[in-house]
Amino acid sequence: MLERLFKLRRNNSSVRIELIAGLTTFLTMAYIIFVQPAILSVDFAGKPTGMDFNAVMLATCISAALATFIMGVYANYPIAQAPGMGENFFFVSVVMAIAVLGVANAWQVALGIVFIAGVLFLIISFLNVREKLMNAISPSMKNGIAVGIGLFIAFLGLQHAKIITSSPGTFVQLNRDLFNSDVGIFVFGLFIIAILLIRRIRGSILIGICLSAVLAIILGKVEFNGIISRPPSIAPTFFKMDIAGVFKSLPLAESISFIAIFLFMDVFDTIGTIVGVGEQAGFIKNNKLPRANRALMSDAIGTVAGACLGTSTVTSYIESASGVEAGGKTGLTSVFVSLFFILAIFFSPLVKMIGSYAPITAPALVIVGAMMVKNVVKINWSEYSESIPAFLIMMGIPATCSISNGLAFGFISYPVFKLFSGRAKETSWLIYLLGIIFLLRYLLIRI
């Protein structure tokens, strides 16, 4: 059955390899299980939003499991999904903005906005608009996205490990206190993974994560609080979205702009991640991703389900690249990730021990980022109308800490350069339209 569903032999893989890949992906993104409810339950001023922490945690696990399972079985790709970072912060800002307008049930209305954006996302997917858009992106741009995401992942890894810190003068700087246990655990994990990779030992990233976790326990950075716990109740957020309130409680212009931004962020974060991971894994053939629309459909369903359960927009995760590097080649990797999200509901103490302490998983992000940068050689550097937009994407994604903003740099400049170089016909009309949409987003919405 597994062979028939996932074509393991054709992809030179096995159940064992896909299991290791799935566990690797899950461990590198398990932080979202606890970060998501922490973000959604408290606003930027430190005041409770009204969303129940435990219910949001359960909603996060279930929506991630559902979307990732669909990705695995329906699209047969090793790409995991969960409520997105960035989208969750925007969700809180929307809750705060709605509350300022005097709306009592602000978070319920915000969930209604996410639900509507998810439904629109599904409609776009059924019309194959997103697949056509992905196929219209040039090979240099696709590889620029992969490199940009790789740099972004590595940057996040160094940030999580506290190797680099924020700085008022230079934005980021080297941490002046490098001789501490956090950095030590990160360096230990980085060297273990790198050495195992050099020795061509399969499962090297997972082994590095596990050994780093053991060292963290020994050094007292994480506390072992058991393995199994009773699942919390999802009742406080389950089907609490207020769809009618989106238009009754808010001015029409506000409603439309919020819906548009959620839709925009989800569409282009997902496209960017799928293109980046697809290039890294070698899935893109003749500049096209097979079964692209199926892959894009899963996060649309996940977003709708997430709003019903009580969490923000579900999107594809760049941490999926860690599973690909661990050997994951089919949707069975995603199925295992989905299973781990369900198990996390019952094994939350164990997951929290690893996922809540970033230096354990940070080395995996840096290693994966290094591997994704290899796609830079596939960019057509001799043709400046291709290479400059690709470079802007490569720099834009990590510099703005946003996939969609990074894509904007490239997609606004690409059609302009093609137009003025006399090669306008080489570019699909969809790219010109996309460039205009990106430009209008910043001119009109300014978010």
The DSSP call for residue 167 is: E
Which of 98, 106, 36, 21 has the alpha carbon at shortest distance from 328? 21
- Return the ∠ at Cα 22 (arms to 21 and 25), rounded to 5°: 85
Interval 125-181: pLDDT, tens: 788 776 777 778 888 988 888 888 889 888 888 988 889 888 877 788 888 888 889
Residues 217/219/221/225 CA torsion (nearest 10 deg): 30
Interval 370-428: pLDDT, tens: 887 888 988 999 999 999 999 999 999 888 877 778 888 998 999 999 999 888 888 88
Q: What is the pLDDT of residue 83?
A: 92
Q: Using CA of residue 261, residue 44, residue 310, residue 357, what is the dihedral sign? A: positive
Is this model's pTM higher than 0.85 or not?
A: no
pLDDT exceeds 70 at position 447: no
Q: What is the pLDDT of residue 161?
A: 87
Name the more confident of 318 and 243: 243
- Tally of domains within the chain: 1
Long-range CB contacts for residues 95-101, cutoff 8 Å, separation at least 24: 95/43, 95/49, 96/43, 96/44, 96/45, 97/254, 98/249, 98/250, 101/249, 101/250, 101/254
- Choose the weakest-confidence range: 108-117, 145-154, 201-210: 201-210
In terms of residue numbers, what domain contains 98? Answer: 2-445
Interval 319-367: pLDDT, tens: 898 899 888 999 999 999 999 999 999 987 877 777 778 888 888 888 8
What average pLDDT does this structure show over 110-136?
84
Mean pLDDT of the chain: 87
Q: What is the pLDDT of residue 446?
A: 52
Mean pLDDT is highest, among 188-202, 216-230, 293-307, 331-345, for: 331-345
Any bridge partners for residue 42, and if so which? Answer: 48
293: confidence class by pLDDT, cuts 50, 70, 90: confident
445: confidence class by pLDDT, cuts 50, 70, 90: low
35: confidence class by pLDDT, cuts 50, 70, 90: confident
Name the more confident of 163 and 299: 163
